[in-house]
Amino acid sequence: MYRPYFKAHPLALALAGILSNGLLTSPTRAYELVWDGSGDNDSWFYSNNDFLHSNTNWLNNDPLLLPNAGDTLVFKGKTRLTPLNDGPEGLAINGMTFAADAMAFTLNGNRIISTGNIVNASRNLQTINMPITIGADQVWDGGNIPGGSLQVNQFAGLGDHSLTLLRHARVSAGNNPLILGETGEAQLLVNDGSKLDSVSADIGAGRGSAGVMTVHGWGSKWTNSGNMNIGTHGRAILNIFDHGSVISKTASIGNGAQVTINGLGSSWTNSEYLTVGSRGEATLSVTNGGALNSGLGTIGGGNSMHPSLVTIDGAGSRWTNQSLSIGAPGQGSLKIANGGAVISAESIIGDQGSGELNIVKGGSMESALTIIGNRYIGRVLIEDSGSLLSTRDLSVGYLSDGRGELLVRHGGTVSSQFGYVGASSRSIGRVSVLGSGSQWLNKNELFVGDQGKGSLVVDSGGSVKSDRATIGNASGGAGEASINGQGSTWTVRDSLTVGNQGTGTLNVENGGKVESASAVIGNALGGLGTVMVNGDGSQWRNQGDLLIGRGGKGLLNIENQGLVSVGGRLRILSTGLVNLNGGTLKVVNQDDVRPAPGGRFNWLAGTLSITGADGVTLGHSEIFGPFTTLTSGKTLAVTNSLNVNSGSLLWLNGGSLKAGTLAVNGGQMVFHNGSHLDMNDIGTLSGYGTLTTTVSGGTAANTIRANNGKLVLGNVNSTQGFEFGGKLDVGSNQVTLLDKDKAQLGVSTSLGKGGELGSINGIDLGDGETLDYTGSASILGDFTNNGLVTGSRGRLTFLNDVNGAGGFGGNVVFRGNYNPGNSPAAIDFHGGSTRFGASSVLTMEIFGNSPGSEYDQLLNIGHFDFNGTLALVFGGNFTPTAGSSFKLFDFSSFSGSLDPSHITVAGFDRNLLDFTKLASTGTLQVAAVPLPATIWLFLSGLMTTLLVSRRKNHGSQAF
């Protein structure tokens, strides 16, 4: 037991001697000493010289008791509020309590070792300035009474123990380093609004040690003004929970250490360097709204099996940096997910080591400068809808030996101002944008293979947009872009250069699409540019000019239904080559495919489409000379007019033709090897001349129009020689249709005054189709009418045989035979007039008593002029009964002759028929008894007299 100091006194000396000899010794006990401040000074160990009535500052039953190892101290009252520990250095005190009535104490003096709790039960600030070292697990409690708090200003060490700061306890380590885990396990909890200050800190300092620091609760805060090491040689954990905060200058996390910042309001602010993975791998997690702020952040120190990992996860979770480096050195990884965000002025992934950045499930990162693969390997994944990497400058593969890879998939988005893929010499960069909704939005220039090797892959519906783009920029740079698959697109709002001074390759395949405002392939000296557009649906649409081989070598390959469209001028310059082999090249003018000297345009197969208003005129260029051949696999498509003028020959030798207007103006067209004229591909065929080929297709939108001469169409050796479904405009010209059987007219046919429509083996007007004439015209060759023939002026003359169930209108003349219907039918003449010439034969079939269905009728005739022969054919095992009648004709007036000498009868005894009313009422009657020939002669004379009289009264229709 520690004794108070006394002046020399004989009795005291004697007693001391007795005690020193052990005569009065007893076991050491721990006491609770209560400070009452009754001494003459502030010393913990003050005692007066009155041996019988000694006095101290401690209230107890033994006036000789002063603080000793293991004692518990209680401070109360309002006297002597600045107690001074002037006892031995490192005195072990088993806890201190500031009583409820304690005023504001300030404890000073020598260092103590605390082995018990320090508690403030008062409503005042209690200050401890003497150094305190922790000797056992304990709690320092600032109290729960308003106004009460605890301030410890010289925290001297935790050792391998546990310390909890509660309820506004404020602790400062002063100039002492804060060490958690020297040789064993140590824990420090800053809780309930408590504060901890330190100048340096080391968590998990010793080998085999373990240190855990937790800052928890609203207002709880740890401020470290110097270096902070988390995981030096031992295991280390730093937890910042539930609005807790940590402020530090520099911090290093390594040796497997774990840092967690969890919950809204929880934060760690590191003003300068933050290194995750300084001595081996480390883990840092910011979750559920936590915040991390640092000046210069580094993630590295790991290896391929155990990389250092930082996770920013959850809505509101955020890491803000001035500069961030992932993989510098060693292997480091950053994952941003579920609404987490990282903001950095500069971000480098793969600096001196291997770096990995994963932005998934709606995470985001914003950076002014982002480098992937700076001096080593960098990999970045942007995955899922809502996941975003936003940066001003983006380089994938930056410095020499840098290897960068950026993968955007499943709806992820990258937004940048300037993009570089393979920026420097010997760097390699690769960007892949995969899947519907995945996109890279580059607002200014994009370089693929700037000075290094760069690759851009857009596949499975991905999208890239940029203002300008260059593939293979500088000398030594090599870039390749692949736009592959349906829905995959690359939109260049301004100019696209493939092969500037470097080597550039653009492949558009399997339905991919590229759009650009203007483009150059092989731009400058030393440049080599190659573009391939291949596959059904693959497109490159260039709104402005496309220059090929401007200063470097340029090659454009269009294959296998790929499409290249040029809205401005296509210029194939001296070092340019275009191969059209199975795809489509769409240009404005026919001279666009005329190469400059040294340039070449190879049309091997595919479609050459000319869209300009001037169309194509054969004989004006080498490509479209006076003798132009379209071989098998070639299609010439002209949006406006294709002119085949006199002296020109268009030979379709297996090829095909499409045109808005095909103007055959005295030129020749020859069709061989399966080539034919498909009117579905021709808007209007106009002109004159002979087109000896199968003519097929067409709708109301397609027209054949004869102009300025005779037009011969069709193939006399084919049963589909002329099967046109559109409009045929004969006009005042002569048109001859060739077919092995009957030529098939389309939806409408029109003839003007003087027009003639002829055929070799006949013409068929189908059901629902019309033939219209607007002046006197003629039809040469047999004609089947199952539609409607009508006219407004003049007359239409059929020079050969006519049949069918279709109607007629206007004035119609039959000079050949006419057999109404395809079986008995009623034919409507719509009030028009009809005339049968002397050589014509009108055959009327009578197979029963029902008009229109069992016997033929000609109805609604205005004036009926008949000068031919009427052939009556009875059939169908039908025998008319005596007295029955057949209304064969319905007319308003009649001229000509229907006497028996102009009538033939087959299948029935003509002597039983009464022809007398045919010319008056159009009725054929069956007589009750046979009439003698003399009676027929009398009746015939009488009918002639009546008809002459009727013609005087009604006049006759002029033909």
Q: Which of 110, 24, 94, 119 is closest to 64 using CA atoms?
A: 24
CA 899/CA 934 separation, integer angstroms: 13
Q: Which residue has the higher pLDDT, 115 or 952?
A: 115
- CB under 8 Å to 114, separation ≥6 — which residues? 92, 93, 95, 96, 132, 133, 134, 135, 136, 138
414-454 confidence digits (pLDDT tens): 999 999 999 999 999 999 999 999 999 999 999 999 999 99
552-608 confidence digits (pLDDT tens): 999 999 999 999 999 999 999 999 999 999 999 999 999 999 999 999 999 999 999
CA 453/CA 450 separation, integer angstroms: 7
Question: In which band, very low, low, confident or very high, does the pLDDT at 818 lie, cut at 50, 70 and 90?
Answer: very high
Provide the b/e sequence for 340-371 (b: ≥16 CB within 10 Å).
bbbbbebbbbbbbbbbbbbbbbbbbbbbebbb
Task: Provide the residue count of the chain.
Answer: 959
Which amino acid is located at 52 in the chain? L
- CB under 8 Å to 34, separation ≥6 — which residues? 58, 59, 60, 74, 75, 76, 99
| Residues linked to residue 60 through DSSP beta bridges, in sequence order | none
Looking at the predicted structure, is the pLDDT value of residue 302 above 80?
no
Question: In which band, very low, low, confident or very high, does the pLDDT at 621 lie, cut at 50, 70 and 90?
Answer: confident
Looking at the predicted structure, is the pLDDT value of residue 19 above 70?
no
pTM: 0.79
CA 722/CA 765 separation, integer angstroms: 12
* 291 within 8 A of 315, measured Cβ to Cβ: no
- CB under 8 Å to 610, separation ≥6 — which residues? 587, 588, 589, 590, 616, 636, 637, 638, 639
Residue 496 tokens, joined? 């696209």
| Residues linked to residue 75 through DSSP beta bridges, in sequence order | 35, 98
Q: Which of 648, 660, 595, 572 is closest to 617 using CA atoms?
A: 648
CA 638/CA 659 separation, integer angstroms: 4
CA 753/CA 82 separation, integer angstroms: 131
pLDDT of residue 630: 94
CA 821/CA 798 separation, integer angstroms: 16
Helix and strand element counts for the chain (H, E): 3, 90
372-398 confidence digits (pLDDT tens): 999 999 999 999 999 999 999 999 999
Looking at the predicted structure, is the pLDDT value of residue 107 above 70?
yes
Side-chain half-sphere CA neighbours of 647 within 13 A: 6
> Is the torsion defined by CA of 452, 545, 524, 530 positive or negative?
positive
CA 245/CA 291 separation, integer angstroms: 9
First vs last Cα of the chain: how many Å apart?
155
CA 138/CA 933 separation, integer angstroms: 150
Q: Which of 305, 364, 376, 294 is closest to 334 using CA atoms?
A: 364
pLDDT of residue 675: 86
Task: Report CA-CA distances (Å) from 429 to 325, 331, 358, 401, 510.
Answer: 18, 19, 17, 10, 24
pLDDT of residue 2: 37
201-254 confidence digits (pLDDT tens): 999 999 999 999 999 999 999 999 999 999 999 999 999 999 999 999 999 999
CA 406/CA 412 separation, integer angstroms: 11
CA 847/CA 858 separation, integer angstroms: 16
What is the 3 state secondary structure string of 299-333?
ECCECCCCCEEEEEECCCCEEEEEEEEECCCCEEE
The domain limits of the chain are 802-959
